[in-house]
């Protein structure tokens, strides 16, 4: 039975997380995974290129070497193993699974906040503090998106939860939340 990309991502990502934790290299591996995730995001055709059957190993090797350059041994080995098994198309899912596990263990929650105007640093900090208390998180990272259609207030999406404070009747409540 063929495994789907999400299952593969979870297995490899969790294995990398467990290995890095066991070896005490979790922060270094986290940095490598974040950098690698950015490379795959910036180069959408990278995985397809590395799995392209018409390219020879000699043509793919320089790309593989550049991905491994400067990485921890765990990440180098992961890249090589995923390449050897022909699963580079699943690499973004593997990296995402690692990051998700890291965030879960460390109490980090990523919140998407939509507002009519860009939130100030103080507003983001106040919102972050309130969300951390409500969600039981140690740290909240906020990705603020401006959408004038919101008119006022904010819409927060985090941990499969949506808090819609954009309705006019909720504006005072959201203002209190942001101003603390």
For 65-92, the pLDDT digits (tens) are 999 999 999 999 999 999 999 999 999 9
Residue 168 has pLDDT above 70, yes or no: no
139-146/108-115 β-pairing: parallel
What's the pLDDT at 113? 94
In order of 49, 78, 85, 96, 171, the CA distances from 14 in angstroms are 25, 12, 17, 10, 41
What's the pLDDT at 43? 94
In 3D, which of 20, 2, 23 has the Cα closest to residue 12?
A: 20
Q: For 153, which DSSP code? A: S
- State the Cα angle at 4 between 3 and 5, rounded to 5°: 120
- Backbone φ and ψ for 116, nearest 5 degrees, come out as -70, -30
Q: Which positions ≥6 away from 169 have C-beta within 8 Å? A: none
Beta-sheet strands, E only, within the chain: 108-115, 139-146, 154-158, 161-164
CATH code for residues 5-104: 1.10.520.20
**pLDDT tens digits, 111-157:** 999 998 999 999 999 999 999 999 899 999 999 999 887 887 788 89
What's the pLDDT at 11? 95
Q: What is the pTM of this model?
A: 0.79
Which residue in this structure is represented by tokens 């090797």? 61
Q: Which positions ≥6 away from 22 have C-beta within 8 Å? A: none
Distance between CA atoms of 166 and 148, rounded to whole angstroms?
11
pLDDT tier at 173 (50, 70, 90 boundaries)?
A: low
Q: How many C-beta atoms surround the C-beta of residue 86 within 10 A?
A: 11
Ranges of H-type helices in 43-119: 46-51, 57-68, 73-84, 91-106
In 3D, which of 103, 121, 123, 118 has the Cα closest to residue 178?
A: 123
């Amino acid at each position: 039975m063929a495994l789907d990309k999400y299952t593969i991502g979870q297995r490899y990502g969790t294995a990398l997380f467990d290995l890095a934790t066991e070896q005490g290299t979790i922060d270094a591996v986290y940095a490598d995974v974040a950098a690698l995730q950015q490379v795959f995001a910036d180069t959408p055709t990278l995985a397809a290129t590395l799995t392209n059957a018409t390219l020879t190993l000699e043509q793919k090797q320089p790309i593989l070497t550049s991905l491994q350059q400067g990485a921890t041994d765990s990440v180098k080995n992961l890249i090589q193993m995923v390449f050897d098994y022909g699963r580079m198309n699943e690499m973004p899912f593997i990296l995402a699974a690692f990051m998700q596990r890291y965030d879960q263990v460390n109490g980090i929650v990523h919140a998407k906040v939509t507002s009519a105007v860009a939130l100030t640093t103080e507003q983001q900090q106040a919102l972050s503090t309130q969300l951390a208390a409500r969600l039981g998180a140690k740290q909240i990272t906020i990705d603020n998106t401006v959408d004038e259609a919101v008119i006022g207030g904010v819409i927060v999406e985090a941990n499969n939860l949506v808090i819609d404070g954009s309705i006019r009747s909720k504006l005072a409540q959201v203002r209190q939340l942001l101003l603390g």
